[in-house]
Structure 1
Amino acid sequence: MYHPALDVDIRPGSGLGIFELGSSLWTIIELLTGLQNEFPQVETKFDIASPTSPIIIHLRPHLDLLFSEHHQRLHTITLKRFRDAPPVTIRFKDRILFAPNQTLQRVDVNRAVGPTYEGEELRYPGVWFSFDEHAAPQAQNQEIKSITVTQHNGQERDGLQEVLECPVMCGDIARAVAKVHKGVLLHFYPTATSEPCFVEIGVTTAQDLSVELGSPLRTHYREDDRMHIHSRLRTNDEEEDDSSCMGPPSPRAFYLLCSPKDFYNYFHYGIDFLISGTTHTVRKIILHTNVPGTPLFHRYKRCPWEIEGVPEDDEDDSPPSVKFTETADRIRRFLNPRETPHHMPLNRTDDEEGLNLPNPITRLWGFDGVILEAAEPGQQVVSLTLF
């Protein structure tokens, strides 16, 4: 199989080649989908038992892309196995550090990048050079075996912390505050200067969405009547009136997931909006968590949502909340600490022949104004629906 040569430049603390630190997992996967000739062997690794674990994309044979566990942002880029095919050329600023049929040694890095502190690695702010462990330590001809690009500027490895805010995040959702029965308040990067956007159920129109969020990546109409059996007989007026489903938690809430839909899909925000066919306003909002190993993984960018609770009083500026990183049990208790809500299993692979996943079954939990879809057995909430 032919593999094109790899030519990358090192940008300490920022990126390597076409990859920028801080990019979302969804963005990188979309990028790689269009570069299958350049990167034909792509492997995604994650811990099935821990849905909020870090994720590694391995681009054979040279690159490892490590993503943070909570916000799924590109945290670390590692370049290795320089001598393996396809050939690699490595640049730093206007200088070639490594080319095919060459070696990259300690002295080459010192000349190009400059002096730094002694240690088992050559560590500079934002980039580390690791050595061949079999070579004599501190020798000038000690060969470099891997290069790591990270935001970290300290002298010790910092573990896997969340990525610091950086320019590549501009325009992405930094925080999505779900307000039950009301809508969602969206905060964007850069957080210091961006104005939040409130999408209100029954008020915000399709045109408002296009103005505030831009055009959706896809708009589609779909009718799925598999859950009509769980609803009462409803007139057309009742179907358009969301207030008929605002009472105590009931199986009728699940009807709202599968009634006729006119969806605005914002995959790059991790959000779907259901638009009313008569009022053209938002009827439902679905926030996606992009949990590895589940049927919807890779389709949506992770939306960093949280559910806002009821303030203790009118002067409470920081009402209680629960975030997407919590387990389904914790979120269920937050929404209704006194009762066990109605729930049912859902297998999203029923319509996908030949699709085998480690966690194909999710469970739907219905609350007053909220539906949680949770993975089994990991208990990570896959999506949050507001209606």
Structure 2
Amino acid sequence: MATTFEVVPGKSVGDFQLGDSLWHVLDLLRTQKTRYPKIEVSWDPDNAHKSAVTIHLQNITLVFPPSPHQTLQVISLPNLASTVLPVGLTLAYENDTLLSPSRPLTRARVGKILGPTYAHNGSSKLVYPGISFDISGAASGSGGAREDLVTSLTVVPREEGDIPVLNTIKGCIIQPNVGVTLFVPDELEIKINETTSQDLLLDLGPPLRKYWKEDERLERMWGAGDAEKGSCFWNYFQYGLDFLISPSGFVTKVIAHSNIPGTPLFQRYARCPWTLPTSSNNLDFSSPLSSFRAHLASKSQAQYVDEVRLTVPTIASNGHGKKKSKRVGSPSSGRSGSGGSDVSPEHGAGDGFEAVDAMVLDRVVEGGLDGVIGVGTSRLVGFDGLIVEEDQQSGGICSILVWRDDNAL
């Protein structure tokens, strides 16, 4: 199938633009399966929360270095001089054709279209602002070095740090017992029990999905007040945010997601670039759980288990914006009943029935993960006005839930 990509140095190649979020790019690829029939996503499974994510397509490689925004920063087209050149591939630059099935890309053609340049640091790489070309060093004809073939090209920012953040919020400051402050790009404060659903519509637009959970078991998870008929989850997947809206129309809880590769919710939500300010530094998705424990006030074991049972959702979407609830066993029994995710107290090593300050969350039982291997559990740790979900395999923070403890105010 013939494929034409417009190349814009420092900005884009075809459909892919520097600064696009990983969630946006993968969502785009889902809608264009005919154009991109084969997709491979790779990362370091032993260090997923700090790993770059790479998307391999037939003609393009897209690199998302580890960052708070998880955005596209390198676009590469390899094998341009290969004997197995992608069938029908054409590269265009402004009003010129860089490469086509009948016209190979050579050193001379690069100079003619983009202007003269020198080899980068004495190497065979030709570098222009926002784009570079690797040269084979083996002439394709009788024209000498001018006819050396280009083996690959790479589009990068024109200057270091010069990458726009597209299709996502610019920042999110977590405020336990208060709410969150978003930058979209203007500052937007969302306060628990003060911000209304109408405010969200005006400032963030409509959510991608809504879900009303009308089930009496919900009160065991969210508390009786939140479980009234009409409570609703608003899912802003593109921003990595969930809001629980009360029947009276107020935001009662906020969840920020980290989109860590290999976790059950990977790619259901974009990475929310959240930070939690502390007295010494800012905590984020890559901070170890020990840092949260060192800077935040923990609940006692008895308080924690009871409050998590009434407060923490399973924070999971089944692909249709739905949430699952789960009755949590008492600290003495350490059991959990039937229903959605398996949420149960984490037991100490010395005493099988001694609850500690964490609860295990197994999302695999929620469904929708058939055939997926290597998906582990996470654990929930409660603090004053905050619930942190840690991925037990990587140690990264999968999500963070902000709520208000009215008894502590």
Identify the TM-score tier after normalising by the shorter chain. Answer: 0.7 to 0.9
Q: For the residues of structure 2 that align with 1:133 and 1:331, how far apart are their CA atoms?
A: 53
CA contact (8 A) 1:290 1:298 kept: yes
Is 1:282–2:251 an aligned residue pair? yes
* SS state at 1:366 partner: strand
Q: Deviations over 1:61-114 (max 9, x none)?
A: x11000121121100000123353332001111011111133211111111111
Q: For the residues of structure 2 that align with 1:200 and 1:321, how far apart are their CA atoms?
A: 20
Q: For the residues of structure 1 that align with 2:250 and 2:221, how far apart are their CA atoms?
A: 25
Q: Deviations over 1:270-319 (max 9, x none)?
A: 10000112x21011000000000001000111001011346xxxxxxxx8
- Deviation at residue 117 of structure 1 after TM alignment: 2.0
Normalising by structure 1, we get a TM-score of: 0.80
Could you list the runs of 5+ residues in structure 1 that have no partner in the other structure? 190-194, 241-255, 311-318
Aligned twin of 1:21: 18
Say if 1:226 and 1:346 are closer, same or farther in 2 by CA, change over 3 A.
farther
Q: For the residues of structure 1 that align with 2:90 and 2:231, how far apart are their CA atoms?
A: 50
Aligned twin of 1:89: 90
The aligned length equals 336
- Deviation at residue 261 of structure 1 after TM alignment: 5.1
Say if 1:227 and 1:213 are closer, same or farther in 2 by CA, change over 3 A.
closer
Q: For the residues of structure 2 that align with 1:282 and 1:116, how far apart are their CA atoms?
A: 57
Aligned twin of 2:188: 197
Q: For the residues of structure 2 that align with 1:165 and 1:20, how far apart are their CA atoms?
A: 10
- Any residues of structure 2 matched to 1:198-217 within 5 Å, and which? 198-217=189-208
CA contact (8 A) 2:299 2:384 kept: no
Aligned twin of 1:267: 237
CA contact (8 A) 2:230 2:246 kept: no
Q: For the residues of structure 2 that align with 1:178 and 1:199, how far apart are their CA atoms?
A: 10
Q: After superposing the two structures, state which structure 1 stretch, 43-52 or 354-363, moved more.
A: 354-363
Aligned twin of 2:386: 370
Say if 1:376 and 1:183 are closer, same or farther in 2 by CA, change over 3 A.
same
* SS state at 1:199 partner: strand
RMSD: 2.6
Task: Select which of 71, 74, 80 maps to 2:72.
Answer: 74
CA contact (8 A) 1:89 1:96 kept: yes
Letter in 2 for 1:143: L
Moved over 3 A (4+): 133-136, 223-231, 336-341
Is 1:120–2:129 an aligned residue pair? no
Is 1:130–2:146 an aligned residue pair? no
Say if 1:296 and 1:223 are closer, same or farther in 2 by CA, change over 3 A.
farther
Normalising by structure 2, we get a TM-score of: 0.76
* SS state at 1:263 partner: strand
Q: Percent identity?
A: 32
- Deviation at residue 229 of structure 1 after TM alignment: 6.9
Q: For the residues of structure 2 that align with 1:230 and 1:274, how far apart are their CA atoms?
A: 13
Could you list the runs of 5+ residues in structure 2 that have no partner in the other structure? 302-355, 404-409
Q: For the residues of structure 2 that align with 1:85 and 1:165, how far apart are their CA atoms?
A: 29
Aligned twin of 2:284: 323
Aligned twin of 2:171: 175
CA contact (8 A) 2:299 2:382 kept: no
Q: For the residues of structure 2 that align with 1:274 and 1:286, how far apart are their CA atoms?
A: 9
- Any residues of structure 2 matched to 1:1-387 within 5 Å, and which? 4-50=1-47, 51-60=49-58, 62-70=59-67, 71-82=69-80, 83-118=84-119, 119-132=123-136, 139-153=145-159, 164-166=162-164, 169=166, 172-189=168-185, 195-222=186-213, 236=224, 239-240=225-226, 262-277=232-247, 279-309=248-278, 320-336=281-297, 342-352=357-367, 354-387=370-403
Q: For the residues of structure 1 that align with 2:377 and 2:295, how far apart are their CA atoms?
A: 23
- Deviation at residue 329 of structure 1 after TM alignment: 2.3
